[in-house]
Amino acid sequence: MTDWTVSRRLVLAGSGALAATPAWAQGTVRRGGTLQVAYNTEQRNLNSAMVASNAVFLVASKIIEPLAEMTYDGSGLSPRLATGWEASADGLSVTFQLRRGVKWHDGRDFTSADVQYSALEVWRRLSNFGRIVFRDLVGVDTPDTHTAVLRFSRPTPAQLIWNALPDLTAVLPRHLYEGTDVAQNPRNQAPIGTGPFRLGENRAGQFVVLDRNPDYWDSPKPYLDRIVFRVMPDKGAIAAAHEAGELQLSCFSSVPLADLKRLAGVPALEVVNRGYEGSTYHALIELNLRNPILADVRVRRAIHHALDLPRVVRDVFDGHGTVGTGPVPTTSRLFYTADTPRYGFDVARANALLDEAGHRRGANGMRFSLKLVPAPWFDYTVLLGEYLRQALRQVGIDCQPQRFDAPGHLQAIYRDHQFDIATGSPVFRNDPAISTTILYRTGTPPGVPWSNQYGYASQAMDQLLDQAAGELDPARRVAHYHRFQQLAMEDLPVIPAVEFTFLTVASRRLRNHSNLPRWAMSNWADLWLDS
Partner 1 sequence: MAGSPGTGSRGLGSFLAAAWPVIRRRLLLALPVLLLVACGTFGLLHLAPGDAVDAMVIAGGGGDAALASELRARYGLDQPLLVQLSLYLLRLLQFDFGVSPVHNRPVLALITERLPISLLLMLTATAFAVSLGVVLGVSAAAAAGRWRDRLILAAALVIYAMPSFWVGLMLILVFAVTLGWLPVGGFETAASGLSGMARVLDIARHLILPTLALALLFVSVHLRLMRAGMLDLAGADFVRMARAKGVPRRRVLWAHLARNAVLPVIAMVGVQASTLLGGAVVIESVFSLPGLGRLAYDSVVARDLATLMGLVVVSAVIVLTVTLVVDLVMAALDPRVRLR
Give the residues lining the site for partner 1 (CB under 8 A).
36, 43-45, 51-56, 126, 128-129, 131-132, 183-184, 188-189, 200-201, 204-207, 209, 226, 228, 230-234, 236-237, 240-241, 243-244, 246, 404-412, 427, 435, 444-445, 447-450
Distance CA 426, CA 414 (A): 13
Nearer to partner 1, 84 or 385 (CB): 385
| Shortest Cβ 37–partner 1 spacing (Å) | 11
User: Three-class SS string for 154-166?
Assistant: CCCCHHHHHHHHH
What are the residues facing 151 on neighbouring strands? 93, 139
Nearer to partner 1, 410 or 464 (CB): 410
At residue 70, the 3 state secondary structure works out as strand
| Shortest Cβ 175–partner 1 spacing (Å) | 21
Closest CA to 456 of 493, 418, 420, 419: 493
| Shortest Cβ 255–partner 1 spacing (Å) | 13
Nearer to partner 1, 331 or 418 (CB): 418
Nearer to partner 1, 277 or 308 (CB): 277
| Shortest Cβ 240–partner 1 spacing (Å) | 5
| Shortest Cβ 234–partner 1 spacing (Å) | 5
Residue type for position 354: L
Nearer to partner 1, 52 or 287 (CB): 52
Check: CB of residue 68 under 8 Å from CB of residue 80: yes
| Shortest Cβ 415–partner 1 spacing (Å) | 8
How, if at all, do strands 510-511 and 68-70 pair? unpaired
Nearer to partner 1, 225 or 346 (CB): 225
Distance CA 38, CA 505 (A): 10
Backbone angles phi, psi at 230, to 5 degrees: -100, 120
Distance CA 61, CA 75 (A): 21
Distance CA 412, CA 453 (A): 11
Nearer to partner 1, 165 or 208 (CB): 208
Nearer to partner 1, 26 or 44 (CB): 44
CA distances from 187 to 149, 180, 235 (A): 26, 11, 30
Nearer to partner 1, 96 or 134 (CB): 134
| Shortest Cβ 223–partner 1 spacing (Å) | 19
Nearer to partner 1, 128 or 369 (CB): 128
Nearer to partner 1, 412 or 527 (CB): 412
| Shortest Cβ 382–partner 1 spacing (Å) | 15
Nearer to partner 1, 14 or 200 (CB): 200
For residue 440, the Cα-to-chain-centroid distance in whole angstroms is 18
| Shortest Cβ 448–partner 1 spacing (Å) | 5
| Shortest Cβ 417–partner 1 spacing (Å) | 13
CA distances from 103 to 78, 96, 169 (A): 20, 18, 17
| Shortest Cβ 146–partner 1 spacing (Å) | 31
Nearer to partner 1, 51 or 87 (CB): 51
CA distances from 504 to 36, 52, 409 (A): 14, 20, 28
* Cβ count near 266 (within 10 Å): 16
Which ranges constitute the DSSP H helices of 139-251?
158-168, 174-177, 235-243
Which ranges constitute the DSSP H helices of 202-256?
235-243
Backbone angles phi, psi at 21, to 5 degrees: -70, 140
DSSP string, 428-481: E-SSHHHHTGGGT-S-PPTT-TTS--S----HHHHHHHHHHHT---HHHHHHHH
| Shortest Cβ 191–partner 1 spacing (Å) | 13
| Shortest Cβ 363–partner 1 spacing (Å) | 35
Distance CA 434, CA 441 (A): 12
What are the residues facing 226 on neighbouring strands? 34, 211
Q: What totals of helices (H) and strands (E) does the chain contain, helices first?
A: 16, 22
